[in-house]
Every structure is written in C-alpha cells, then in structure tokens.
Amino acid sequence: MPSAEEYLRPEVIQNIARLDLRARFIVQGFLSGLHASPYHGFSVEFSEHHRYNPGDDTRDIDWQVFARTDRLYVRRYQAETNITGYVLMDLSRSMAYTYQQELTKFDYSVCLAAAISYLMIHQQDPVGLLTFDEHLRQSLPARSRRSQLGNILAVLQKCRPEGGSGIASCLRQASSMIRHRSLMMVMSDLLADPQDIIESLRILRHSGHDVIVFHVLDEAEVTFPFSGSVDLLEPESGERQIVDAQGIRRSYLEALQELRNRFQRECFAIGVDYVPLDTSMPFDKALTEYLFQRQARF
C-alpha cells in the first residue's frame, strides 16, 4: 500500500481508476506532506486563519493553533475567507498526447482539476468548471455544496480532448461570462499563438479576476528524448514532418525554454501566476501554487 505522499506521483495515481478516489488520494498526500513541512500554515487546517499583525484584535487569536505552532494566528470569519474558483480545461487534440507516460497531458490536467476542486469544496469555497477547445463547450456555475464535486467530476470524466485550439478567444469569452471576481485556473498546453494567449490573460486580469496558468506539457515535450529520424505530427493541423532528432534537439530545447521564459515574464508583468508543469511531476507543486494564491488574496 503506497504512503499518502506517494499518491502525488503520476505513476502511482494512474493505478487508481476512479477519478473521485484520485482526487481524494492526491489531496490527502499533499496535506500529509504539508503537515510535515515548513509550509503547514498553508494547509486546509489553517485556511481560516492569517498571521497575527500588530493592530489585530487579540481576542481573535487562536491559542490552540499557537500551542501547536508557536506562531500567532488570528481567526477569520467565513465571509472573509471564501473565494470563488473556476477551472478552465483545455480539450484540444494536442492535450491527448503522451510519449511514454501512462497519463496524457489531459489525464494529468484532469487529476489536478479534480484535486483542486476537492480541496476547494473541503474549504467551502465555490468552484465551477469551463471546458473549451475552439469554442466554450460546457459551463458549471460555481457552487460550494458537497454535490458540486460530483457534478464537476462527472463532466470531466465524459470530456475527450478531440477539438481544435481556440484558447485565446475562449478566455476572452469566459471573462465576459463570469462577472464576479474569481480565481481562474487555466489548464492547457498553450499550443497556440503566445501573444494572443497573453492578451486574453490580460483581459481576464483587467476584468478583476485572479489567474493561475498551469502550463501542462508531456515529459517528452520537455526533455526531447528522441533519436534518429522522427516522424512528428502536428495534432491541430494534421501535418507531418520527418526530422533528425539529434540535429534539432538543441534548437528545440532552446526554443521551448524561451517560450516558457516568455510566458513567465509576461504573465508576471500583468499579475498572472504561471506554473510550468510536465506529466512526470508530482502534483504538489501545482497545489502549493493554488494555496499560495488563495492565501495572497487575504
């Protein structure tokens, strides 16, 4: 039986068939790791507290937390802590790619979306879902009731990454649809015009939303482990090209790093959190970024 933290590893979670159990095990593994780390103050257990600052009412200090942590935390009221979150899930064909991993980019993103939704519902935060390819496909309004998790997982389980790519236009449409300030969590491989994507993220921010971009690539797209002649298929257009892997490896890896650097730089400039991921990475990095963003709002 794997330990709790081992369920953060994609190669372990792939052995769990049910999406609800995947979500629960990922979150339990994450929280288990948090309680044993310097970041335990960001766990669900402390989601309704903030660090004591001079001027805070001492009557609101949680002395039980102080006894366990040696740090002063002030209890917040529920109205102060709830945020509204939306998962925006890319269903374009390129998300179906995998080279050697058992989980495709889409599978990895679905596991992450399920875990974040589980975490938000556990914190009584409303969470909703938007799916998109070249068009917005499905929309679940944000809710905090327990049944919402089942609604989200039911939609995710039926989704298939088979459409074209229209991320920029879909993000702009989402910005006009969702008027209440929300935490927008975009899960995509971002295989489209970077400038169009960045402009759409700017519009989301201008509309008052907080944004996290989870840039999910396959491990092979990040490491380029190929050798000899390789037949490359462009999933959106269907175009094929045979290349010499050794001859293009260096230029490919440099171009990929420049692309990631560009997203990192330009997202930072407009106040968007950018999280580069690949399908071999444990899920805790992404969940930690979510919790940091949640804490930063208060």
Q: What is the pLDDT of residues 236-257, one digit of tens each?
A: 677 788 888 888 999 999 999 9
- Number of Cβ atoms within 10 Å of the Cβ of 194: 14
Of residues 293 and 230, more confidence is placed in 230
pLDDT confidence tier of residue 123, bands split at 50, 70 and 90: confident
Tell me if 108 sits within 8 A of 122, measured CB to CB: no
Question: Which pLDDT score, from 0 to 100, does residue 257 have?
Answer: 97
Helix H or strand E segment including 12: helix 10-13
Percent of the chain with pLDDT over 70: 86
Residues 47-63 have a mean pLDDT of 69
pLDDT confidence tier of residue 75, bands split at 50, 70 and 90: low
Structure-token match 């995710």, residue found: 156
Tell me if 86 sits within 8 A of 184, measured CB to CB: yes
Read off the amino acid at residue 251. S
pLDDT confidence tier of residue 40, bands split at 50, 70 and 90: very low
Q: How many degrees, rounded to 5, is the angle at CA 82 between CA 264 and CA 32?
A: 70
Question: Which pLDDT score, from 0 to 100, does residue 134 have?
Answer: 94
Give the dihedral of Cα atoms 230, 235, 240, 245; nearest 10 deg: -20
pLDDT confidence tier of residue 46, bands split at 50, 70 and 90: very low
Alpha-carbon distance of 24 to 122, in angstroms, equals 11
**Which residues lie closer than 8 Å to 36 by C-beta, 6 or more apart?**
none
Strand partners, 85: 127, 183
pTM for the model stands at 0.83
Alpha-carbon distance of 256 to 193, in angstroms, equals 14
- Number of Cβ atoms within 10 Å of the Cβ of 146: 10
Alpha-carbon distance of 181 to 245, in angstroms, equals 46
Helix axes 167-177, 194-206, angle to 10 degrees: 10
Alpha-carbon distance of 278 to 244, in angstroms, equals 24
| Span 167-207, pLDDT tens digits | 999 999 999 999 899 999 999 999 999 999 999 999 999 99
Q: What domains lie within the chain, and their CATH numbers?
A: 4-79 (no CATH), 83-296 (3.40.50.410)
Question: Which pLDDT score, from 0 to 100, does residue 81 have?
Answer: 56
Question: Which pLDDT score, from 0 to 100, does residue 41 have?
Answer: 42
- Number of Cβ atoms within 10 Å of the Cβ of 18: 11
